[in-house]
Amino acid sequence: MPSPRHPTRTVFIAAFAFSLAAPAAASPPALPASPAPPVPLVPPDTLAQRVAPCVACHQPQGRNDAFFPRIAGKPEGYLYNQLLNFRDGRRQYPMMTYMVGHLPEPYLREIAQFFASQHPPHRSSATGPARVEATAQMLERGRVLVRQGDAARGIPACIACHGQALAGVAPAIPGLVGLPRDYINAQFGAWKNKVRRAQAPDCMADVASRLTGADVAAVSAWLASQGVDDAARPAAAPAAPLPLRCGGVPDHGGAR
């Protein structure tokens, strides 16, 4: 039998091919890539981040619905007192009680300071005052009660405590303009029914007890129909001594 041609070359090529394949055959299968390490959860570090749940309801510019008041720009002392009232059961709203029930007073003070320092434009700056369904007679009655009160029935004017511009008085009396009508009605109802209370002496419960349902409807309609001045800030002090003593509010030389 004739010998194969170029036997040396054939053996060399076969050996070279085997040498290339051998390491691949001997290597272990590639392992899947390791997953990226989880990103550590970083707790909220700024007060603005911590109060995000508050802003979900109490939107800085105000809301279109009638159940959550705007708290941005309210006097610090007022906000602090209300947080205490929710925590201690003088005001009843389960979500608020749950959120502040275990918070210490220094932290509640920080929250109050944060919101008191916020002054974004109110939503009505762009849309105008809310449209209120009320007769001219009702609106006039509301204006008189807000501006003058009813001395014969022992009802002080709203402006006597809440400021001439109704923007509140530092450190603890809230502004009234910009509040939804239904919210105002609900708060008077809560005072009348003793669901909402304040630190003694509870002046607003006293005032609410002297108002009729028609009075409340007139006051809330007139207040809700007023535009909001974005430049307005709580007054530094009332224009005159307060007509009633109110728990948690400096009396400014008012009634005893």
Task: Mark the binding-site residues for heme c, compressed into ranges.
Answer: 54, 57-58, 96, 158, 161-162, 204
Residue 157 burial class via C-beta count within 10 angstroms: exposed 0-12, middle 13-18, buried 19 and up: middle
List the structure tokens of 14: 């076969």
Give the residue numbers of the binding site: 54, 57-58, 96, 158, 161-162, 204
DSSP state of 153: G
Give the contacts of 192 (CB within 8 A, at least 6 positions apart): 205, 208, 209
In DSSP notation, 66-81 reads SSS---TT--HHHHHH
> Rounded to an integer, what distance in angstroms lies between the CA atom of residue 82 and that of residue 158?
19
CB hemisphere CA count around 168 (13 angstroms): 27
- The two counts, helices (H) then strands (E), for the chain are 12, 0
Residue 50 near residue 39, CB atoms below 8 Å: no
Other CB atoms within 10 A of residue 115 CB:
22
Distance of CA 256 to the CA centre of its chain: 34
Q: Cis peptide before 106, with omega less than 30 degrees from 0?
A: no
> Rounded to an integer, what distance in angstroms lies between the CA atom of residue 131 and that of residue 90?
32
